[in-house]
Amino acid sequence: MRLFIVLSSVFAVGLCVGGYMKQDPTEQQWCESLATLSRHVNSLSFENGCPQIVSVYTQVVSGMNYIIKYKDGDNICTLKYYVKLWDNTYTVNGHICAVPARQLDQTHAMPGGNMDQDPTDPMYTDLLFNFTDKGLLNQASMNGLLITKVQSQVVAGVIYKYTIQMGSNVCHLSLFEQSWTDTFEVSTDTCHLASAPKRQLGGGWTSQDATEQQYADLLANFNTKGLLGDFQTCKIISVDSQHNCHLQLYVQSWTGVYTVHTDTCTAHKVRQLGGWHPVTDTNLAGYQECIKATVEGINSQSNSMYRMVESNVHAKYQVVSGMKYDITVTAVMSTCMNNADSVGKLLADCPMQAANMLAQSTWHAVCGYQAWNNPALNFITPPEMIH
């Protein structure tokens, strides 16, 4: 009985007015609908008759919304339009086609690198319409686009990189999506498709009290991390986006990510998602875990009776899907024995042997750290002796 009630509820929701309904694409009425639309919209024509229709969705509003996907040769096209029969209204809200990828190279994809995708995958056209619905892309520009290439890059979220043909012109559009914070951003737009505002955060912007100490502390924190210049001569007059110059700071405290997103105050020291930056905060959990794992890896390869510990560390990080740490460690012999009792111990627990200062080696490792995973840390490049 419980299962029947749940299924009945789902069925009832599917029939609600206003929701998109999936239709049978083989029905003749959709060909007739496209033919009627082409007679009312000069820019649209189906010279070879009804195309092969792949899918149809309809939505009852004050009239009817249609989303029809069809094949045009090898291309897959998505047509969004609105019809109100009683006053003879026919409006095309989007017409985007995509070229199938001839060959996808997804081998050896590294975190933070670009991965080729199939432009005909519906999600990439749907993403453009999603950004349009959010007011980030101009709806009037969503007609006559041909997607010729799509790449994705995992950073602290995902960047989708489009190559688009508009008539005889080829342009590029990059969209950033961080689904767990409901963040959407147009980051590159040589196609001139974006509309203001270019960035939207879940919940929208809210003004704050600019006199609160936390905002001065936040600037100081970014300055300490080397991400901003000197703010000693600055006065915060507003914590929103409406005055004098604009500074937008992004903080993901649980992974130690601090990024300057927008800076018209010329305070930004160049740092970009996906680029390498020196580690300035050695207390970060990911950095500490990488050091510990590297030292353990060194000792697992050592035949010394004494434990090797770190005496000098050079480290940099990269924001990917989580964090990537590239470290070079000078390892020296400590006073601790290399046995199970010493596992997890570093230089602070095991002082180096003064008599063996020259018995040192240099090691390199690359770690990936994702705080939300278990285990959170993995080696991309295991510890390897380089000197």
The 10 Å Cβ neighbour count of residue 88 is: 8
Torsion 47-53-55-59 (CA) sign: positive
Distance CA(139)–CA(19), nearest Å, equals 21
Reported as a pLDDT band with limits 50, 70 and 90, residue 268 is very low
Mean predicted confidence (pLDDT) in 331-351: 91
Residue with structure tokens 């009792």? 341
Q: Which tops the pLDDT comparison, 84 or 219? A: 84
Reported as a pLDDT band with limits 50, 70 and 90, residue 275 is confident
Any bridge partners for residue 23, and if so which?
Answer: 56
Residue with structure tokens 């974006």? 194
Q: Which tops the pLDDT comparison, 120 or 266? A: 120
Which range is least confidently modeled, 21-35, 267-281, 325-339, 348-362?
A: 267-281
CA-nearest of 188, 191, 193, 259 to 228 is 259
Distance CA(283)–CA(315), nearest Å, equals 13
3-state class (DSSP) for residue 198: coil
User: Which amino acid is it at 365?
Assistant: A
pTM over 0.75: no
How is residue 166 written in tokens?
């508009």
> Tens of pLDDT along 102-141?
765 555 445 557 888 999 998 999 999 988 888 888 888 8
Task: Please check whether residue 356 is in contact with residue 350, taking contact to mean a CB–CB distance below 8 angstroms.
Answer: no
User: Which amino acid is it at 140?
Assistant: A
* Eight-state DSSP code of residue 102: S
3-state class (DSSP) for residue 318: strand
Q: Which strands form 360-369's sheet, in the order they lie side by side?
A: 276-278, 306-320, 322-337, 360-369, 377-385
User: Which amino acid is it at 229?
Assistant: G
Mean predicted confidence (pLDDT) in 283-305: 90
> Tens of pLDDT along 145-180?
999 999 988 877 888 999 999 888 899 999 988 887
Mean predicted confidence (pLDDT) in 335-358: 86
Reported as a pLDDT band with limits 50, 70 and 90, residue 3 is very low
Task: Please check whether residue 96 is in contact with residue 123, taking contact to mean a CB–CB distance below 8 angstroms.
Answer: no
The terminus-to-terminus CA distance of the chain in angstroms comes to 71
Reported as a pLDDT band with limits 50, 70 and 90, residue 61 is confident
pLDDT above 70: residue 2: no
